Chains A and B, each alone.
Chain A
């Protein structure tokens, strides 16, 4: 593959995107990085003072950073893996040749994606309410739970699953659309050929279907991971980060530091820690994915 080494033109092409990004977020992020080394308080009238790594030290020594890491990774892992498995199943079935009304079914699956997160949060905390939520009523009368007043969003064990459930519900449509599109691009002949060769359906799936939609899977999962690391609206409105920090992810933690403790220094430090962590992750992913892509071509 020949690529033109016309850097000037390329720069002109990508410039608008970077101007937009630079205008809106670059300066604020640089400022936030600076704030993370100061004692900037929202409720203080004095000028912020440089305090070196004090914010970082306090985050790590108090164990907050570790706790946020654990919750965030768990949250992202659960949301992304569950939505991926469901979406893959749905996409595989919808991809079956004989399926009629595929467009309508796909559109039906997509409805949750159109419900704003604010509404999603209220809807799910209402449906999961311990006293008058419809889920407890259904589960109890199906004999699946013993306690009709099962507490979800304020429970040690169930709070995280509750927010995961709401997020999965809203995000699976996105994943499903991407995977289905990938699957539909796999030539039917390829599958037929495999079948003629006597390959079983598991073999076709694992060795032909899956590898050929691999790039779609990679990109979609990457996007889902990044989006969920920013997830705030659903978590905060459902649990407020509780109980006892069980659902406090990095983005919720940064909010609590910034707007409950008014400590922008610490809030920014949290942001920087997460930025570095995910930045390395994305960079490595790009390298890996580039290698993959070039091996395709």
Chain B
């Protein structure tokens, strides 16, 4: 009996608590329930109130912006990014934002962190719900989707002529849609070939490959080494073939090498060609001969490269730091890793670039301030801070090239990325169907190498699929 009574008391307590919580939940007043939650809310409220109160003052004092230490109220802008979500880049982003806030007392930047994997989804949801931040970090593979959703603002009128000329032309053009400049390039990188000289040495080579044909022979020779002393299988060349969009664009250099292409400049699909089939057959051959592991994504390949399991991979400057982090011994890794251009049989460059671009959102009410911030982020001052805390952030502007970081002892390899960048091609990313198209290519690759289907029919299916998916 007594136990029952106690239980009743407990239940009553729980029910009361629940009732309270549900009441506050519906009322939205947020008073009292959930300690930290209401704290945050209150402080936020405090901010906006004082902001409104000071609004009058700001408009009065707006003319004498220069007067130092004036009590003018700063404009707060929000900056959405994935840098603040990842442990490796948090310190750098914190430092950059702090430096900007310090040097620009009239603008205060607040960060909204979102994980990279779901970044595009979440942005599009925010855009559809009219909740966009003022400015944002945008990977170039995500750019066209945001553009067609009308999420990004034309910042052309804010860009001063000398600043515009400072940016690399190919990067800038990729963000230009019919004369509308919808973003600024930032932290770009060309894709280059990473070579593990230790493995190559074991296979009897002491140089990097000059042509794709040579690369294949060298890769085959490395594969013939079999296993290392710990039982890890050694591969010649790492290729992405998992069911994901990046598998599609990491295939493009091989496609380009054989003279094929996904589409022309207007977005007309041109993949159904003997040249493309040759490229698909090249990959098929690599798999059949055991030169490349099946079903990997770039993160797996980085792990394998760090573990001396693969002689060649194609990766960016960001990848270097990531692999270094996974490697058992950083010095050894630095010593036996050599970078070079992705070798092409015809001599025409076949690398592409990726970039973390910056954009101002169409919904922002502080576009000018947001532009000031993103322009600053791409400057030498910011990139220097970025490189202090993080590694291998490459310049998107000529004026940033001269940073001491790139020529510091031990960092000479970064010159390869800088040299390759102007030659690098843009991904076929101008249409919103980019992501779906890249997944189509990945799917075609899987049909050929996993399902062993006939190349010609797969590529002809792919052509039809791309026609419906790419420009839609």
List chain A residues, Cβ under 8 A from B443: 242, 244-245
- Partner of A44 from the list B149, B244, B307 (CB cut-off 8 Å) is B149
Measured in the bound complex, the distance between the Cα atoms of B458 and A7 in whole Å is 62
A131 near B304 with CB under 8 A, answer: yes
A241 within 8 A of B: yes
A43, A44, A148, A239, most chain B CB atoms within 10 A? A43
B232 near A132 with CB under 8 A, answer: yes
- Identity of the chain B residue whose Cβ is nearest the Cβ of A16 in the assembled complex: B22
> In residues 42-82 of chain A, which contact B (Cβ within 8 Å)?
42-45
A→B interface (CB under 8 Å): 16, 42-45, 129-132, 137, 148-149, 151, 153-156, 239-245, 256, 259-262
A155 near B450 with CB under 8 A, answer: yes
A132 near B307 with CB under 8 A, answer: yes
A42 near B128 with CB under 8 A, answer: yes
Stretch of B95-103, B214-222, B293-301, B336-344 with 4 or more beta carbons under 8 angstroms from chain A: B293-301
B375 within 8 A of A: no
10 shortest interchain CB distances as A-B pairs: A242-B243, A154-B295, A45-B150, A43-B148, A240-B243, A43-B432, A243-B446, A43-B149, A259-B121, A261-B436
Measured in the bound complex, the distance between the Cα atoms of B120 and A261 in whole Å is 12
List chain A residues, Cβ under 8 A from B469: 261
A131 near B432 with CB under 8 A, answer: no
List chain A residues, Cβ under 8 A from B295: 130, 151, 153-155, 243
User: Taking the nearest CB of chain A, how far is it from the CB of B81, in angstroms?
Assistant: 20
List chain A residues, Cβ under 8 A from B432: 43, 262
List chain A residues, Cβ under 8 A from B233: 131, 148-149
List chain B residues, Cβ under 8 A from A259: 120-121, 124
B451 near A244 with CB under 8 A, answer: yes
B309 within 8 A of A: yes
B294 near A131 with CB under 8 A, answer: no
A130 near B446 with CB under 8 A, answer: no
Measured in the bound complex, the distance between the Cα atoms of B231 and A261 in whole Å is 42
- Identity of the chain B residue whose Cβ is nearest the Cβ of A248 in the assembled complex: B243
B293 near A130 with CB under 8 A, answer: yes
User: Taking the nearest CB of chain B, how far is it from the CB of A19, in angstroms?
Assistant: 9
A244 near B436 with CB under 8 A, answer: no
- Identity of the chain B residue whose Cβ is nearest the Cβ of A245 in the assembled complex: B443
15 contacts between A and B (CB under 8 A): A44-B149, A131-B232, A131-B233, A131-B293, A131-B309, A149-B233, A154-B295, A155-B450, A242-B243, A242-B244, A242-B442, A243-B451, A260-B435, A262-B124, A262-B145
B176 within 8 A of A: no
B145 near A43 with CB under 8 A, answer: yes
List chain B residues, Cβ under 8 A from A45: 148-150
B→A interface (CB under 8 Å): 22, 120-121, 124, 128, 145, 148-150, 231-233, 241-245, 293-296, 300, 303-304, 307, 309, 432-433, 435-436, 439, 442-443, 446-447, 450-451, 469, 472
Measured in the bound complex, the distance between the Cα atoms of B309 and A130 in whole Å is 13
B300 near A131 with CB under 8 A, answer: yes
- Identity of the chain A residue whose Cβ is nearest the Cβ of B435 in the assembled complex: A260
Measured in the bound complex, the distance between the Cα atoms of B245 and A62 in whole Å is 22
Measured in the bound complex, the distance between the Cα atoms of B447 and A257 in whole Å is 20
A260 near B231 with CB under 8 A, answer: no
User: Taking the nearest CB of chain A, how far is it from the CB of B6, in angstroms?
Assistant: 22
- Identity of the chain A residue whose Cβ is nearest the Cβ of B452 in the assembled complex: A156
A241 near B243 with CB under 8 A, answer: yes
List chain A residues, Cβ under 8 A from B433: 261
New A-B contacts (4) at CB < 8 Å, excluding given A44-B149, A243-B451: A153-B242, A239-B243, A240-B243, A243-B446
A242 near B148 with CB under 8 A, answer: no
Measured in the bound complex, the distance between the Cα atoms of B124 and A190 in whole Å is 61
List chain B residues, Cβ under 8 A from A148: 231, 233
User: Taking the nearest CB of chain A, how far is it from the CB of B126, in angstroms?
Assistant: 12
Measured in the bound complex, the distance between the Cα atoms of B307 and A132 in whole Å is 10
If A44-B149, A242-B443 touch, whether A260 touches B245 (CB-CB below 8 Å) is yes
Measured in the bound complex, the distance between the Cα atoms of B293 and A130 in whole Å is 8
B128, B243, B451, most chain A CB atoms within 10 A? B243
If A132-B232, A259-B121, A261-B436 touch, whether A154 touches B300 (CB-CB below 8 Å) is no
User: Taking the nearest CB of chain B, how far is it from the CB of A35, in angstroms?
Assistant: 12
- Identity of the chain B residue whose Cβ is nearest the Cβ of A256 in the assembled complex: B439
B22, B128, B241, B295, most chain A CB atoms within 10 A? B295
- Identity of the chain A residue whose Cβ is nearest the Cβ of B245 in the assembled complex: A260
- Partner of B149 from the list A42, A154, A243, A260 (CB cut-off 8 Å) is A42
List chain A residues, Cβ under 8 A from B231: 137, 148
User: Taking the nearest CB of chain A, how far is it from the CB of B111, in angstroms?
Assistant: 23
User: Taking the nearest CB of chain B, how far is it from the CB of A39, in angstroms?
Assistant: 10
List chain B residues, Cβ under 8 A from A244: 243, 443, 446-447, 450-451
User: Taking the nearest CB of chain B, how far is it from the CB of A13, in angstroms?
Assistant: 14
List chain B residues, Cβ under 8 A from A129: 300
Measured in the bound complex, the distance between the Cα atoms of B231 and A156 in whole Å is 26
Measured in the bound complex, the distance between the Cα atoms of B446 and A259 in whole Å is 21
List chain B residues, Cβ under 8 A from A137: 231
Measured in the bound complex, the distance between the Cα atoms of B432 and A148 in whole Å is 41
User: Taking the nearest CB of chain A, how far is it from the CB of B12, in angstroms?
Assistant: 17
- Identity of the chain A residue whose Cβ is nearest the Cβ of B120 in the assembled complex: A259
List chain B residues, Cβ under 8 A from A260: 245, 435-436, 439
User: Taking the nearest CB of chain B, how far is it from the CB of A5, in angstroms?
Assistant: 27
A154 near B294 with CB under 8 A, answer: yes
Measured in the bound complex, the distance between the Cα atoms of B434 and A260 in whole Å is 9
Measured in the bound complex, the distance between the Cα atoms of B443 and A16 in whole Å is 47
- Identity of the chain A residue whose Cβ is nearest the Cβ of B233 in the assembled complex: A149
User: Taking the nearest CB of chain B, how far is it from the CB of A220, in angstroms?
Assistant: 25
Measured in the bound complex, the distance between the Cα atoms of B437 and A262 in whole Å is 12
Measured in the bound complex, the distance between the Cα atoms of B33 and A122 in whole Å is 35
User: Taking the nearest CB of chain B, how far is it from the CB of A131, in angstroms?
Assistant: 6
- Identity of the chain A residue whose Cβ is nearest the Cβ of B144 in the assembled complex: A43
Measured in the bound complex, the distance between the Cα atoms of B439 and A239 in whole Å is 13
B300 near A242 with CB under 8 A, answer: no
User: Taking the nearest CB of chain A, how far is it from the CB of B241, in angstroms?
Assistant: 7
If A45-B149, A131-B233, A260-B436 touch, whether A240 touches B307 (CB-CB below 8 Å) is no
User: Taking the nearest CB of chain A, how far is it from the CB of B280, in angstroms?
Assistant: 15
Measured in the bound complex, the distance between the Cα atoms of B293 and A154 in whole Å is 11
User: Taking the nearest CB of chain A, how far is it from the CB of B447, in angstroms?
Assistant: 6
List chain A residues, Cβ under 8 A from B303: 132
A243 near B243 with CB under 8 A, answer: yes
- Identity of the chain B residue whose Cβ is nearest the Cβ of A259 in the assembled complex: B121
A240 near B242 with CB under 8 A, answer: yes
Measured in the bound complex, the distance between the Cα atoms of B442 and A260 in whole Å is 13
Measured in the bound complex, the distance between the Cα atoms of B223 and A284 in whole Å is 58
List chain A residues, Cβ under 8 A from B120: 259
List chain A residues, Cβ under 8 A from B241: 154
A44, A244, A245, most chain B CB atoms within 10 A? A244
